[in-house]
Amino acid sequence: MIGFDSEKLQETLLDLQRSQERENQLRIENAAILEGVSAMAGANNKRQVFNSLLAVLHKFIAFDNAIVLTRDDEASDLHVLMSTVTTLDFSLWKVDSTFNRCINGECIALYSPKDIEEFKNKSTELLKICNSSLITGVKISSGDAMIILMSTEKGHFTSSCRRVLNRFRPLLERAIIDIDYRERLQSLVTARTQELIHSQQRFKDFARTVGDWFWEIDTEYNFSYISASHIANHLIDKDNIMEFFDGHEDFKHKFRLQLEQNQSFEDLEWQLVIDGKEQWLSFSGTPYYNKYGLLLGYRGTVKNISVRKKRLFDLQQARKQAESANKAKSQFIAMMSHEIRTPLNAVLGLMDLLSSSGLENEQQQWLGQMEQSAHLLLTIINDILDLSRIESGSFELFNGNINFSDSITLVKSQLQPEADKKKILLECNIDESIPTYIFSDKNRIIQIMFNLIGNAIKFTNMGSVKIVASKIDNNIEVSIFDTGIGIADNAQKKLFNPFHQADGSITRKYGGTGLGLTISQLLINKMQGNITIKSELGIGSCFTAIFPIHPAIVQIEKQTEKKQSKPTISLNILLAEDSPTNQLVAKLMLERRGHKVTISNHGEEAISKLLQRHESFDLVLMDISMPVLDGLEATKYIRKLNIDTPIVALTANAMQSDQFLYNQAGMNGFLAKPIRPEELDLMLIKYQDLKQEPKHQ
């Protein structure tokens, strides 16, 4: 019996080990997918999107070349969308049974492609580099698409490669759609550019003729000369120029006023419709006199500016489309943030609860590593949101009186364990001439210092990192010296570009999104400062951040902070949340802190509970994105009912513009997902204090 139990235990341990290996592999693949999405989001052209996709696939599947094929309809042959072999760019591929299976979602490994119908009659050059291949296809809005991974080795691709390619299907589909969209957009831009060039040439030709039509009238506005009997296909059969404008009284009045002023005028525009087509005419004129200064009449020109108006309209439309695309990008980033933050809330919340459940030391270490990875993912999301907000111009600094030296010291102390772990010296030298307090954004200065000092530690394997802060004229200069790997001259010029790192090996070895320096530079520029770099490959680097000194608004007196005891009063909380997992996490976190929790699954249900007994609730935690009735509309309705129970937004929509909307709707606060224990405690203390205060009769 004991042997049987031992055997069962061994089987269970093996199953657990396999499960952990699968989980680890999935985590690695998920990180690669996220990295690929980030790289594609920052790509400037379809080649960069293609290279980003191949870089992700290369980490898990070894291949020599790749080609993406596409077609618009089922009757057409496949043509090359992107390829690593330029000589194949204009080849066509017929679709037979094998390709049909791939297009319908199957992943197929070919051990001898030349025997397959689709590869027959292909060039010798192709067959030399394709002794085995891995193929799969996707459906896209414009038709069908396939990717072929090639290897010069026979029988190279295994079932494991097929599994990985299937796992990366969403990323593959996203990349191909992006490449196809950019291809079509580029074709459209090229065509429109050509049209615009022709329009510009036409306009120049018109301009060289000075005017399409010449006119002269006497003081009674009767024609004394016209250069042609038609203008813009409109017959001139009137003797008086004013009669020419019959039916267009507004323009007739404007034209008469211009003439009565006896001054030259230009580009008085008239819109009319001739034979169902919109026409625009531009009138220019000047009075003329005899040698005695007696007014004889007026003469001028008329230009048909319909082409110019159409061009301006097209440019306005193009601008609107560009603005719409930028708005769509911001909406996509905000949506992705919400979609990632929502499950991440459950992950971080459950890990926080699990950490206090009596785990063994080794399990606590595993949990700590998991939590560190989750927080890293959250940092990446925040970086992308920061970059999007700054680039869109919707980013604002929140300035106040801050102790600049304390900010640097705080960052240094928090990064000290990282330096100790790598056994490098972390020094800090702050000049006493720096003002104790300045007027600036503390959080953003700390963020910049974290990026610069954190990078110095990351890329230094031995030696030291030294922080030197001093006052130069009316600026504070902070220099971070390191004895790290250094940066080549040609790479320094691109270092502040989004998603860029000195070389591909740095991305693989050290990780990161490549956004830290970009965001730091944009933030410092927003503060009217500057950032510079000096570096020598293999010797080390020095980043210098220059912050202008803005004096503190009022003199600050140092006060001894009084330690306040944490309130222990229990709150009765209504939680409006549609996700069962997030309900569980929030309920456990709140109940562990001694609070009572009532759950509603959407806004309408929350309103119903408040109508029944809103006096019994001390606080409402309201999710924003919910079915039936969302959190914003529910809050507005609650406030219309004159129910003043405090409502705090609990959501993954964490952008500044979102928080403004929550405040406008009548919410009293904001708590971002994933929920951080320290932020939750601060929020709860606020409403515990309010409950303790005596109510006025």
User: Could you state, in order of their start, the residue ranges of all structural domains in the chain?
Assistant: 18-187, 210-310, 323-390, 396-548, 572-692
Burial of 160 (0-12, 13-18, 19+ CB in 10 A): exposed
Q: What are phi and psi of 673, to 5 degrees?
A: -90, 145
- Listed as ranges, residues in the chain with pLDDT below 50 are 203-204, 206-209, 499-513, 556-563, 696-697
Homologous superfamily of 210-310 in CATH?
Answer: PAS domain (3.30.450.20)
Residue 31 to residues 246, 268, 377, 661: CA-CA distances in angstroms?
71, 62, 9, 32
Map residue 284 onto helix, strand or coil.
Answer: strand
Q: What is the pLDDT of residue 324?
A: 76
- What's the count of helices (H) and strands (E) in the chain, helices before strands? 19, 25
**In whole angstroms, what is the distance from residue 623 CA to residue 365 CA?**
32
Whether the Cβ atoms of residue 284 and residue 265 lie closer than 8 Å to each other:
yes
Query: Amino acid identity of 456?
Result: A
Domain covering 18-187, topology = Beta-Lactamase (3.30.450)
Tokens coding 635: 């809050």
Q: Are strands 143-151 and 132-140 parallel, antiparallel or unpaired?
A: antiparallel
What's the pTM? 0.39
**In whole angstroms, what is the distance from residue 338 CA to residue 519 CA?**
21
Fold agreement (210-310, 323-390): no
**In whole angstroms, what is the distance from residue 393 CA to residue 390 CA?**
5
Tokens coding 246: 């019959």
Residue 100 to residues 140, 237, 509, 567: CA-CA distances in angstroms?
15, 69, 40, 67
Whether the Cβ atoms of residue 168 and residue 28 lie closer than 8 Å to each other:
no
Helix 306-355 and helix 580-592: axis angle, to 10°? Answer: 50
Q: What is the pLDDT of residue 544?
A: 92
Q: Are strands 647-651 and 619-622 parallel, antiparallel or unpaired?
A: parallel
What is the 8-class DSSP label of residue 567?
A: P
Q: What is the pLDDT of residue 499?
A: 47
**In whole angstroms, what is the distance from residue 624 CA to residue 577 CA?**
8
CATH architecture group of domain 396-548:
2-Layer Sandwich (3.30)
Whether the Cβ atoms of residue 99 and residue 93 lie closer than 8 Å to each other:
yes
Tokens coding 672: 């971002």
Nearest partner of 462 among 488, 481, 483, judged by Cα: 483
Homologous superfamily of 572-692 in CATH?
Answer: Response regulator (3.40.50.2300)
How many other C-beta atoms are found inside a 10 Å radius of the C-beta of residue 686? 15
Q: What is the pLDDT of residue 605?
A: 92
Nearest partner of 250 among 280, 273, 271, judged by Cα: 271
For tokens 């037979």, name the residue.
Answer: 96
**In whole angstroms, what is the distance from residue 594 CA to residue 643 CA?**
25
Q: Is the CATH number of domain 323-390 1.10.287.130?
A: yes
Map residue 322 onto helix, strand or coil.
Answer: helix
Which helix (H) or strand (E) segment holds residue 278: the answer is strand 277-289
Map residue 386 onto helix, strand or coil.
Answer: helix
Q: What is the pLDDT of residue 175?
A: 80
Q: What is the pLDDT of residue 86?
A: 83
